Each structure stands twice: as structure tokens, then as C-alpha cells.
Chains A and B, each alone.
Chain A
Amino acid sequence: MNTLAATAPQVFHEPGCAKNKGKSTSDRKKGCAKQLAPGAAAGGCAFDGAKIALQPITDVAHLVHGPIACEGNSWDNRGAKSSGSTLYRTSFTTDMNETDVVFGGEKRLFRSIKEIIDKYAPPAVFVYQTCVPAMTGDDIGAVCKAAAQKFGKPIVPVIAPGFVGSKNLGNKLAGEALLDHVIGTQEPEYTTPYDINIIGEYNLAGELWQVRPLLDELGIRILACLSGDAKYHEVASSHRARAAMMVCSKAMINVARKMEERYGIPFFEGSFYGVGDMSDSLREIARLLIERGAPAELQARTEALIAREEARAWARLAPYKERLAGKRVLLITGGVKSWSVVAALQELGVEIVGASVKKSTRRDKEKIKQLLGGDAHMIDDMRPREMYKMLAEARADIMLSGGRSQFVALKAKMPWLDINQERHHAYAGYEGMVELVQEIDKALSNPVWKQVRRPAPWGATALGVEGQATKRIAALPASRAA
């Protein structure tokens, strides 16, 4: 069994990561997690990262071994949709108490696993390590091993206690857990030359379902999606896929690369966001499958589908072109979404005044640089205050962002549209692009933004409040960093 001490550095050495390759040996040793600045606002922890990466596997019980904090705050907080089991949305935790901290929580964990097996009989139980048992020394690996033997079911330890690092590291550690304990442990009922894996897609707001019908039409089967709307059996037998697409580049690159290494499954990095990107992804999938022995006619069928769907999408987008042309958009979002949405919006004549690259890989950044023509518009790790300043200067008509930054945006009188995990609309695929544009159009035309930007109609008091805010903004330091 791999220990955390062995796994974490291994993840840091990820050779598939372009950024990692570019580092010096000493830098690489430090790992890829940015050093957190104590006292500064920070993102989620490794546990959170592991949980969100695996929780979309719908039919397993996700048991959090720790005090109530970890599961209590993260229970069902992501909109990863399921087409079948809803067990993944049930909250399981050992809810450790003082006694467990003093005398150890292993027995409680074992009993918890037993109770889950008795009551829910899931195909597997995923056990998540958290800070407290990691510090008191509960041997989760051993408990899982014992439980797996006793109950005859896979009990998967996910060793990513919060303190080891960032959310992103947690994503990768979760991937390692899958590689170590799940992938390759079962066989699919049958295989076809058209079987693919999709890695790093979480089916948020049901996005996978907007893509799946296109693949269905081409006869391409998603053998496993890691991990959106996935079942344990699918993940366990995913090693028989012919090709893979990696969607979220930063989260599970280690999984994609190691599956290539171990099982010879080639992968490419693609995106479902934007018309052009969606088409490219379909082409790549077809290309890889044909390379691996699928009949060559797949290519022609794929091109026909792309032509048809693109025409349909553009026809539906056409009415918005006029309304959105010249609008200035600021993108504050993570990873892959930045460049894929940039391309999509530019197709509509929207001007991108800036895009965040905080969660983007070097390749992501290259793409954005290409698209935007220079790095002046790229915004790295932006603190709320700086973001506020930038927004308040009203260099954009709308901000596309996630649930945390949007509230800062609002204070700076900036319309926003949520495109991160808490959103409620699916923006993937051709259908999703139309949806996104509709939502942007709606957000821009909502009367509240006029209200938000207009000072209160009384002059004197307005100076009091508005004037002070403007002064404060002016006093802030410059905000843009490459």
C-alpha cells in the first residue's frame, strides 16, 4: 500500500505536466502547490479536492473519516448530476469525537464501514482521510484492507488529508487512489473498438449529457467517465478503453498519463466548451479511435455530424451576434474553461478584456495568449481587493466567474454570470454554447445592472457613499499581473 509520503512527491513529479517539466530539479522537489500565505484568503484543501474529484461516482458510499467539519461543510455541495444512483449524495461520516481523538478512531471507522455495507450494500466504499485522523495516526489503509477482506467488497482509502496541500493536489491524490485501488480491478461485460474514457469531467449541471447524445450517434461508447455520472464498475473496468479525452487539464493529468503508461490508452486534451473546441474534440476522439483500430469510416461520419451540428449551433447563435458584438467580457474562472470560453466568445464578436489563468496549465496559458494576442490580459492569482479595483474601473460589461468572485464583482457594480461548479445551466457541447450565450445575453439585459451602476438618485448622500468608494478604489495599487 502506498503511503502518503510516497504518493505526494510522486504526484509532484508528474511528467505529463508541462509546467512541471519546465522547472529546475530543486523547484520540482518543492512540489507544485503554491506556498500558502498564512493570513491570506485561500482556496480549498486537498481533502476537498479529493472529494470533489471522486464524489461524482454515483453508486459508491463516500465515507469521510473525520470530525463533522469536513463532511458537514461539503455534503452534496456540487451540482454533479447522476442518471442513476443517488447514493453519492448521501452524507456518510464517522463524525469523530474526543474519545476517538484520544484512543484512535480506527474501530469507529471499521464499524462505520460495516454499517454502510449492511444498510446500503454499495459496490464499494470510498474512505476519505482527513486532518485529525491523519495526525492521530489512524491507519486508514489498514482498516480499509481489513474491511475489504472481511466484507468482500472494495474499500478504497483516499489518502488526502487537508493539510498536505491544495485542492488541486487533492484532485491528483484522488486520481492516485483510483489508479491504485479501482482502475483495472474489474472487466467490462464486452468491449468495442469505440470505447473511450473521459477524464476530468464531472457532469456538473448535467453537461456530460449534452455531449453524450453526439457520441451515441457516432456509436462511440463512454466506457467510463472520471468521474461524472460514473458507476464503480465503469471506473473499475475503464482500463479497457481504446482512447481517452482529458477535459480538466489540471485535475487528473496523472490519471490520464498513467493509464497511457500502464494500459496503452492514448489521450488528448480537449474541451467541450465552445463550438470550435467541441468539434475539435470530436475529431480527436475519432482520430485516436481509428488509430487504435476502429474502422476509418468513423472519420467521415464524425465530420458529417460536426458539419450538421455546427450549422445548427451557428444558426441559433446568429440572432445574438448583433446583440453581443462589442461587449466586453472579463473571465475569472479556472483552468480549461478560460481558453475554451475565450475562443467561443470571440467567435461571437465579444471582446475579452481579461482572463484569469490561476488554475490554468502552461498549455492553457499558451492558448489564451494566442487567442488574446499577448499576455497583457492574463490575470494570475487575483486578490479580491485587486479584482474589485479592476472591476470598479468598469473595463468590462460582464464578468463570467465562479461563486466566490461574483460577490466581489457585485460590490464593484459588475454584472456577472456564474460559469463554475455551482452554476445551474449546462454550457458544454453545441447546445451548451447556445445556452451560455443566452445566459450572457440575459444577464446583460437584466435591469438590475443599470440599477447597480446608477448611484442613488439623491446627490448629497451619494457623494458620501459613492464618492468615498471611488476614492478608495483610486488609492489601490495597480492590479494586473501576467
Chain B
Amino acid sequence: MPQNAENVLDHFELFRQPEYKEMFEKKKQFENPTADAELERVCEWTKTKDYRDKNFAREALTINPAKACQPLGAVFAAVGFEATLPFVHGSQGCVAYYRSHFSRHFKEPTSCVSSSMTEDAAVFGGLNNMVDGLANAYNMYKPKMIAVSTTCMAEVIGDDLNAFIKTAKEKGSVPAEFDVTFAHTPAFVGSHVTGYDNVMKGILEHFWDGKAGTAPALERKPNEKINLIGGFDGYTIGNLREIKRVFASMGVEYTILGDASDVWDTPTDGEFRMYDGGTTLEDAANALHAKATISMQQFCTEKTLPYIAGKGQETVALNFPVGVQATDKFLMELARLTGKPISAELAKERGRLVDAIADSNAHIHGKKFAIYGDPDLTLGLAGFLLELGAEPVHILSTNGGKAWAAKVQELFDSSPFGANCHVYPNKDLWHMRSLLFTEPVDFLIGNTYGKYLERDTGAPLIRIGFPIFDRHHHHRYPVWGYQGALNVLVWILDKIFDEMDHSTNEVGKTDYSFDIIR
């Protein structure tokens, strides 16, 4: 027997034992097998230009999408506020997904509840679920605020969140003055970045516009503070901490709107923190008075920023700034808005980053990259690669549309290294597969799902994006700021050198180039 009690084999080893191998072989003939040659032929055909053309002519089906749904972004935005419980009105299965999705990426629990709508609610509306749900959530989890968003189920039947919340308050689910914000976040519109945008705007509207008619709207009394919105960002822990350091270094007074850097990175010290850190509700309200708001991700704040601008603030939209020039732009804007000089500390860090890039430029120069991911992330990374003298030849996004594609093209046009690069809006990872076969690249940048592409096409994967499930703790490192760009540079270089070692490690065949100095 392959398995015995003395020496129990786990899944890595068990099915490699001869008994199992033999069994699998025998099973095959009962499983309507295709002849190996035919299998091989079709496999090879899927790598051709012919197949690629058919693949790109695809109209209805999405295969391996590189995006998630609105409520995922909704939860992301909500947990960034002080003691706020994200409450997703709809079916509870969806919410379980969001929680596990975040927990797998951040290696932290994510508190989030649903109104657990079932069949009767689908027929008669989810009002009762809202009334009971808010009451239970308020009493059991003692939040300071509840941020309501929706799943598809509630959206299909058209539940009116504003009215429901009012009714629930009237029925005493939560005290009348308790903050319950809301945003409609149907998954059949947009993606997680849209959900982020909607909830961020919903929370600001709640505080600034008179809490859904229950309080007088705030009047803006401009001060010198700067608001910053990070957007949906897998590196939010490292990034926001880095941003705070930058602000402190320049002596800028700021409010980060939606700061999940603490709640997704709680210490193990014997205390469970269901809520930790986050933007205080007072700061969220007072953010109205700020001089300006900087969004680090334009496509995560397409509705929020114009709303803020409408209040009289200046707004600045960036695209996930990574690298020297992108960080320069961020700091220059910050200096312009605040009138404060960029600190010597940051100037020095800039010099160090340039130094590091120059040290390694020969290894990255001319290397071809494929990148996929969220619209802003891909823009930021592509900009950095161009700066390094690399060629980001395929830039693909499932949730990036025409506006995003135009912006990427503009970026390509700004550098001679962008000449042979193409942008692919609203495409999925199966499209990427065809691209990688027909126009191969040296490296692929994407999230964990890219590992299938890596296995399939042989393009080595550099894991940058969300979610990253199969490598731990990278989300603790910043990718913004000069320090962050240094991290990205190192991750890229590590892969380049790993590949170099890998391709030269055959004993007696290729190891004449297996060097210790690279």
C-alpha cells in the first residue's frame, strides 16, 4: 500500500507513488480520452496567431478575468474608517468571499457582515433583513459606524438603501444619530475599483451633506490640510505608512481618507482588534475643510474626486505613482499645494533611488514585460518600466476601458521605449495567454493568478498586484515613494537574476555562466 500509518504521505507525495500512477493510467481509458497526438495538436494550435485572432474576436465569454466585484472594493474602502463595520446588504455568500479574499492577501481577519438575504427577501425585498441586520451588527460588534453597500441580489430587486436605513433607524435598529453610510455597489457594473469609489463618495456625502437629511450640511471653512485617498491597493499597509512618513518629513498636515494600514496589520499581543486605526469619523467630517485632496489612483476615485472638487477643494489625480518621475510629480504637487519645500531627507532618498537604478540599468535595459492588473497599477508600473529602459510591450486590464487605454497610449508615446508597446483594455488573462505565446516577453507582472500563465507560457512572473495569495507579506512593503520604487526595482531584479541563475544551472552544460557576481 502506498499509504501506511507508520509513514503517512501528504498530497505532495502520495499520488506520485507507483500504485496511484498505475491507477490513473487505467482510469484514463474510461474517461473518454483524446489521443495524445490530437491533444498535442490542439495545445499547439492554441499558441498560434490563428488562435489568437479567434480569441480576440471573443464577444461574450470572459476567461480568467483580472478583476473583482464592486462590493469587494466597497469593503476595502469601509474598513479604512475608525471602528467601521462594512455591512453588505444582500446574500451572505458574497461577503464570505470578500472576507476570505482579503484574509488570504493580508493574512489578517477582515470583519464584515451581510444582511443574509434569502429567497423570501428576494421576493419581498430586503427591508426586514436590513432592519434586523443593522440591529444585530450594532449590538454584537459595537462599531462606531456601519458602511452599507450592496450585492447584486439587492440591486436586482432594487432595494432603496436610503429609505431602508431610515426605516431601520425609525424602528430602533440603531440610534438615530448613529452613523450609517450607504452606497449602491452592484457587481454587474464596473469592478472593485468602482465599488471603492462609490463607498468613499458615500461616506464623504454622509458626513459633509448632512447625514442623509438628519443633520445640517457642513459648511466648508478652508484650512491648510491635505486629504489623501489611496484607492484600492494591495500594498496599502506599506504604502500608507510610507505616505505618512513623507507627509511628516515635509511637515504637511494631512488626513488620509480610508486608512486600512492598521486594521490589516494588527499585532499579535493577546488582544483581538476587530477594529484598529483608520480615519476617525471626526477627521472624515473635517476633511471637507481641507485645502486639497490628492487621489493616488484616478480610476479608483472617478466619482469621489469630482464630488470633492464640487465642494471647492483643489483635487489632484495620480495613477499609482511608482518610480522617480511619478514620485517627483506627487511631491511637486504636494509642495505646490502646501507651499512647503520638499525635505532634504526625501531629496536624498531620490538620489539613492536614481543611484540604484543606474547601478542595475544594464540588466533591465531592453527587457520586455507584460503587465496586467487594475488601471492605475498598470499605468504606474508601466511608467516605471519605461523609466528603467524596459519595454512594457503588453499592458492589459480587464477593468480598464477606453479612457484608461488612451492614457496608457499617451504614456507609451512619451518614451522611445514605448514605441513597440500595446495596450489592451477590457481583456482577460486568456487574451494575455495568446499575447504571451504569439509575442513573447521576458517577464510577466501580475497577481497570483499569473502563475498559471507563467506555467503555461514560460514567462517568469513577478508578483505585483492584488491579490497575492501564494507569496507572503509583500503587502507590508511600500511601492510608492522613492523607497517604494526601490522595492519594486528589487523585486524585478530578483526575478531577473533568479532566471539568469536558473538558465545557467545545468551541471556540465550551462553552468559555465553560473556566477556568484551578477
Contact = CB atoms under 8 A, between A and B. Distances in A.
A97 interface: no
B351 A447 contact: no
Contact of A465 (B335, B351, B362, B365): B351
B498 to A, nearest CB: 16
Contact of A448 (B344, B388, B416, B513): B388
A442 B364 CA distance: 11
A410 B350 contact: no
B357 A451 contact: yes
B359 A458 contact: no
Interface in A398-451: 407, 410-411, 415, 417-418, 422, 424, 439, 442-443, 445-449, 451
A451 B516 contact: no
B343 interface: yes
A460 interface: yes
Interface in B333-370: 335, 341-344, 347-348, 350-351, 354-355, 357-359, 361-362, 365-366
Interface string A73-109: 0011101011100100000000000000000000000
A442 B416 CA distance: 13
Given A461-B342, A464-B347, A86 B388 contact: no
4 smallest CB-CB distances across A and B, nearest first, come from A446-B389, A81-B512, A458-B342, A448-B357
A445 B515 CA distance: 27
A409 B511 CA distance: 32
Given A81-B513, A451-B387, A442 B341 contact: no
Interface string B474-518: 000000000000000000000000000000000110011101111
Given A442-B362, A462-B347, A465-B348, 7 more contacts: A79-B517, A86-B507, A411-B355, A443-B361, A446-B389, A448-B357, A458-B331
B432 interface: no
Nearest to B416: A445
A206 interface: yes
Contacts of A417: 362
A448 B387 CA distance: 6
Contacts of A77: 516-517
B62 to A, nearest CB: 36
Nearest to A417: B362
Interface of B: 324-325, 328, 331-332, 335, 341-344, 347-348, 350-351, 354-355, 357-359, 361-362, 365-366, 386-389, 415-417, 507-508, 511-513, 515-518
Contacts of B331: 458
Nearest to A462: B347
Contacts of B341: 458, 460-461
A69 B347 CA distance: 38
Contacts of B361: 443, 446, 448
Contact of A447 (B350, B359, B388, B516): B388
Contacts of B387: 447-448, 451
Contacts, number: 91
B366 A442 contact: yes
Contacts of B354: 448, 451-452
A288 to B, nearest CB: 30
B344 A464 contact: yes
Nearest to B335: A458
A449 B359 CA distance: 11
13 contacts: A76-B515, A77-B516, A86-B512, A422-B517, A424-B515, A445-B416, A447-B417, A448-B389, A449-B358, A456-B342, A458-B341, A461-B341, A465-B348
Nearest to B331: A458
B347 A456 contact: yes
A457 interface: yes
Which one of B416, B417, B512 has the greatest number of beta carbons of chain A within 10 Å?
B512
A457 B351 contact: no
A21 B508 CA distance: 46
A83 B358 contact: no
Contacts of B344: 461, 464-465
B19 to A, nearest CB: 40
Given A448-B354, A456-B328, A79 B359 contact: no
B351 A442 contact: no
Given A76-B516, A447-B386, A451-B357, A458 B332 contact: yes
A93 to B, nearest CB: 16
A256 B473 CA distance: 59
Nearest to A438: B366
Interface string A453-482: 000111011101100000000000000000
Given A79-B517, A448-B387, A465-B351, A443 B362 contact: yes
A13 to B, nearest CB: 36
Contacts of A447: 386-389, 415, 417
A190 to B, nearest CB: 26
Contacts of B511: 86
A464 B341 CA distance: 11
A424 B365 contact: no
B414 to A, nearest CB: 11
Contact of B350 (A83, A456, A460): A456
A30 B388 CA distance: 51
Given A445-B389, A448-B387, A465 B347 contact: yes
B415 A424 contact: no
A206 B389 contact: no
Given A83-B512, A465-B348, A424 B343 contact: no
A460 B512 CA distance: 51
Contacts of A460: 341-342
Interface in A196-219: 206
A398 to B, nearest CB: 12
B358 A452 contact: yes
Contacts of B512: 81-83, 86, 206
Contacts of B517: 77, 79, 422
A422 B387 CA distance: 25
A445 B332 CA distance: 27
Contacts of B388: 447-448
A81 to B, nearest CB: 5
Nearest to B351: A465
A407 B359 contact: yes
Residue from A448, A460, A462, A464 with most neighbouring chain B CB atoms (10 Å): A448
B518 A424 contact: yes
A242 B341 CA distance: 72
B332 A457 contact: yes
A206 B513 CA distance: 9
Contacts of A465: 344, 347-348, 351
A102 B352 CA distance: 47
Nearest to B500: A424
A457 B348 CA distance: 13
Contacts of B508: 86
B362 to A, nearest CB: 7
A457 B328 contact: yes
A435 to B, nearest CB: 13
Tell which of B362, B365, B386 has the most Cβ of chain A within 10 Å.
B362
A81 B388 CA distance: 29
A65 to B, nearest CB: 22
A145 B417 CA distance: 62
Nearest to A458: B342
A161 to B, nearest CB: 25
Most chain A beta-carbon neighbours within 10 Å: one of B386, B508, B517: B517
Nearest to B363: A424
Nearest to A83: B512
Given A457-B332, A458-B335, A448 B358 contact: yes
Nearest to A75: B516
A457 to B, nearest CB: 5
A424 B359 CA distance: 14
B328 A79 contact: no
Contacts of A86: 507-508, 511-512
B77 to A, nearest CB: 32
Contacts of A445: 389, 416
A365 B282 CA distance: 76
Nearest to B353: A451
